Amino acid sequence: MKLLILLVGWCLLLVFCWPLALAVLILAPLIWLLSLPFRFLFLCVEAVFALLRALLFLPARLLGHRGRN
């Protein structure tokens, strides 16, 4: 559904302002490529926080606390 809305929005942009639509078509993959290192950094930070949380809650889990699950 998101893809359909994106496609309809781009077609409307193409009708009303075709140079901007072509610029979006060319620049979107470049912006996606530039954002990849930041996504990787976010993944690493999230993994570190998950490890810290697991280490902090380890004594409670060893004592038998089940948590919210």
32-58 burial, b if ≥16 CB within 10 A, otherwise e? eeeeeeeeeeeeeeeeeeeeeeeeeee
- For residue 69, the model assigns a pLDDT of 61
Name the region of 64 (left: φ>0; alpha: ψ -120 to 50; beta: rest): left
pLDDT digits (tens, 9 = 90+) for 10-53: 999 999 999 999 999 999 999 999 999 999 999 999 999 999 99
Alpha helix segments (H runs only) across the chain = 2-16, 18-56, 58-62
| Backbone angles phi and psi of 17, in degrees to 5 | -150, 85
User: At a CB cut-off of 8 Å and minimum separation 6, what does 61 contact?
Assistant: 67
pTM: 0.58
Domains of the chain, by residue range, sit at: 2-62
